[in-house]
Amino acid sequence: MPPHTSQPAPDRTAATGRNRLADPGAHRLGDDDVRRLSVSASRLSAVLETLDAVAVRRWCATGLAALRRHQGEIDDLNVYPVPDGDTGTNLVLTLTSAQQALGLDLDTSPEGGTTAHGHALRLMARGALLGARGNSGVILSQILRGLADALAPVPVIRGGALAETLRVASAAARAAVAHPVEGTLLSVVAAAAGGASGTASDDLQAVARAAADAATRALARTPEQLPALARAGVVDAGGRGLCLLLDALVEVVTGEPQARPAPESRPVRPPATAARETGSDAYAYEVQFLLDAEPAAVARMRSALDALGDSLVVVGDDPPPGQPGTWNVHVHVNDVGAAIEAGVAAGRPYRISVTRFADQPAPAPPPAPDGAARAAVVVAPGAGITEIFSREGATVVPANPSIGELLDAVRATGAARVVVLPNDPATASVAGEVVRQAHPFGVKVSVVPTRSPVQALAALAVRDAKRSFEDDVIAMAEAAGACRYAEVCHARREALTVAGPAARVTCSPWSRGRCT
C-alpha cells in the first residue's frame, strides 16, 4: 500500500471557472447581464448623501424637463382659481427663468461666506421670482425662496436639513397668499413637509422619497378639499406640478428615474364652463407686475389690493432694513387702474401684465430647448403683414408694444438668442430696454433697427443658422440697411415733398422722402 501523501486542496473557484468556459451549456455573462450590472453600478455612483451645487442645477434641469413633458396635461387640469388652462405653461415659464438664471451665473462664486449650494439655490429662487407667471408660478417661486433662505447657511445638506427646510418653505408659501385655500398647491407642499419630517431620518434619499410620496397622496385628496376640482373630476394643477418637481429631486439624489402614472381623472368640462370658487364675485382681469419697494410699503399695498380683488399673492426677496426689495405681485381684479396705482403708491412697478379672462389666447408654442434655438420677434402693424412674417418663422407682436409685452414675446420663444425687428423708431427704443431686461433671464437679445416691414422681410430672408448669432445679426442689419423702401398713405392736407406736390398721398415720415 503506497504511503499516504498530503495533496493541496483543489482550487474549486478556478476549476469551476474552467469548467464553465469549457461547457457550452454553462451560464455566461451576456450583454443583458453586463448592461444590468453597468446600470446598477452607475446608479450606485449616482446616489447622493448630500445635496450640493451640482445637484441643485441637475434638479432644476430635471424638474424643468418633467414640467415640459407634462405641460399640456397640467394645463388641462387647470380649473381653479380661474379656468384659463395655463398652469402648466406658467410653471414651465417660471422654472425656465430659474434655470436661465443658473446658467447665466454658472461661473460666479458665492459671496459673503455663502455656501456653493446656497448660491445656486438663491440664483434659482431669484430667477423664479423675476420670471414667475400666474398664481402657481408665483407660489412656486416663494417655495424656492424658502428653500434657498433655509439651506444657504447649512454647511452640508442631509435628510434632516431638507425636512426642516420643506417646513419653512411651506410656511413661506402660505404666508404669501392673502387667503389660503386647501386643496391647492399649498396643501400639497404642506403634506410634503409633513411626510419628510415624519421619517425622523437624516438619510437624504429617504427624506426626499417620503416628501414626494406624501405630496402624491395629498394631490389625490385635493378633489375632496376643493369642490371645483371634484365637479370637474381633476386634481389640482399646481399641486401636480410640485409633485413632478419633488419626483425630479428623488431622481437626482437616488439616480433612479421616477415614473409615476399620471393622476386618474374623469372627463374635464371645457375651461370656459368650469365653476370658479374664490370666495368672492368673479373678477375679469389678472394683473401681475414686478415691484421695487420697501417691505412697509408692500404691506400697505397688499392691504389695498386685498380690498380690490382676490387670488392675491405677493412674494419677494428679503432686503436689508430700509432698503427696497424686489417683489412679484399677482391679483385678480375688475379695476385694473386701481391695482396698478396701488403698486405705484408702494414703489416702482414694472413689467406690468394684464390678462382679460374672457379672452381665449392661442396656445403658446412649446419652449425650445435652452440654448439650442434662435428666434426672431417682429413688430407688425396689421393682419396681412403679420401673416407674412409668421410664414417666415417669426414671432409677431402687434404695433406699439410696451416693454413688458415685447419682453414676454421674447421669453415665450424659449430661445436663448433672439433678434428683434421693431419696424418703427419709437419701438426701437423699447426694444433697447428689452435687451437689458432679458439679460437676467439668460436670453441674449440683439436689435436690428428696422424702420419698415420691408426692411424686416429683407433681414429675415438672409438668416442662416449655420452662422454664429453675432454674424447672423450683422448680415440681417446689412440686408435691412441696403433695402430701399417707401410707404404711401392718405394725406390730411396738400403737401410739398422732395418728390413733388402731394394732394391725396404723401410719404410716411420714416420713408426718408423716397416716394412712389
Which pLDDT score is estimated for 422? 92
Interatomic CA distance for residues 419 and 469, integer angstroms: 9
* Separation CA 267–CA 94 (nearest Å): 28
In the chain, CATH 3.40.50 covers: 374-481
User: Cβ distance 150 to 168 under 8 Å?
Assistant: yes
Q: Domain 53-273 has what CATH class? A: mainly alpha
pTM: 0.59
**pLDDT value at position 393?**
85
The ranges of the chain with pLDDT < 70 are 1-47, 82, 84, 105-114, 258-259, 261-281, 359-372, 486-500, 502-516
Domain 374-481 has CATH 3.30.1360: no
Give the per-residue pLDDT at 371.
39
CA atoms in the 13 A half-sphere facing the CB of 122: 17
Residues of the chain with CATH 3.30.70: 285-356
CA distance 395 to 420: 10
According to the model, what pLDDT value does residue 47 have?
A: 66
| pLDDT for 259 | 67
CATH top-level class of 285-356: alpha beta
**What is the chain's Cα-based Rg?**
29
Residue spans in the chain of domains classed CATH 1.25.40.340: 53-273
Residue carrying C-alpha cell 449616482: 46
Q: What is the dihedral of CA 500, 505, 511, 516, to 10 degrees?
A: -60
Q: Which residues contact 467 (CB under 8 A, 6 or more apart)?
A: 475
